[in-house]
Chain A
Amino acid sequence: METVAQLFGAHPRMQVAEPEHWPRPTNVWANYDAETDSMILYLTGKPVRGVQVYLRDDIYAIIDPDTYNVVGMYVEAWERSFVPAYPDVQEMWRQVKPSFAPEIGWNQLLRAMALWIFLLLGPEANNPQRSLRPA
């Protein structure tokens, strides 16, 4: 069976630059969608036009198509793969998920968790071996 990597290669076609500004908690917009089991966060206060650049393990950086700055992060297979890979996220998600209505998909706790994950992992440092606990 032919894979996409055989057709297009395995490396991103866009460069990924650091966010233009240091992420501010009040500018984090986060949403979990159960139907696609995906988590999305923007650092721009609200969703903006962007290109999802696949990094690895179902994790994408969302890039401003004009400046190449990271404006957000998108994670597929959130409950299926990402959460189980990080014990601290698993613990946090267990508490955060029941706190918001599924049809709304967010609350302040989710927003805080999304910022925490972004700051600790960043769009480029998605190594599952990296600990989310204090050194």
Chain B
Amino acid sequence: MAVVLINAWDPRRNNVLLYENRYFAHIIVRHPGVEIEYILLAVEAPDLITCDVNDDLVENYYKQGAIWDMPEQFLKVCVHFDSDRGKVITAYAVDRPKPNEVVVWKP
């Protein structure tokens, strides 16, 4: 049975999950320094949620300062929604949200 590391609700009350396998086999391997608590913070209290330009089922959560030693940078968390639940598929630090994405939520 898949182990869930994060079972959180975003500001729109959408449920978002992070699975152990995805985190340890993909996210932390490709993007060292992206801790589980940073991802949780970006999902629960994002600065911005956008629609991905390449996949209509993916939304991107951005949180500036989520990575404690990179306060100026944003954490981008990509969440795939194929039902009423979303699952985190990747997460990494960016200098800014991707310019051509459309905003779907902001505070």
Chain A contacts to B: CB under 8 angstroms: 1-5, 7-10, 12-14, 31, 33, 35-38, 40, 47-54, 58, 60, 63, 65, 74, 76-77, 80-81
Number of A-B pairs, beta carbon distance below 8 Å = 89
* Minimum C-beta distance from B39 to chain A (A): 15
**What residues of B have a CB within 8 angstroms of the CB of A14 in the complex?**
95
* Minimum C-beta distance from A42 to chain B (A): 9
- B100 adjacent to A3 (CB under 8 Å): yes
CA distance A8 to B50 in the complex (A): 13
- A4 adjacent to B90 (CB under 8 Å): no
- B30 adjacent to A40 (CB under 8 Å): yes
* Minimum C-beta distance from A11 to chain B (A): 8
CA distance A5 to B96 in the complex (A): 10
- Interface membership of chain B positions 46-82, coded 1 if the CB is closer than 8 angstroms to chain A and 0 otherwise: 0010100110000000000000001011001010000
Chain B: interface size category: 20 to 34
Chain B contacts to A: CB under 8 angstroms: 26, 29-33, 48, 50, 53-54, 70, 72-73, 76, 78, 89-90, 92-103, 106
- A81 adjacent to B54 (CB under 8 Å): yes
Which B residue's beta carbon lies closest to that of A47? Answer: B32
Known: A47-B32, A49-B32. A5 touches B95 (CB 8 A): no
- A47 adjacent to B30 (CB under 8 Å): yes
- A selection of 6 A-B contacts at a CB cut-off of 8 Å is A8-B97, A12-B95, A33-B26, A38-B90, A52-B92, A54-B98
**What residues of A have a CB within 8 angstroms of the CB of B26 in the complex?**
33, 35
**What residues of A have a CB within 8 angstroms of the CB of B70 in the complex?**
51, 65
CA distance A37 to B96 in the complex (A): 21
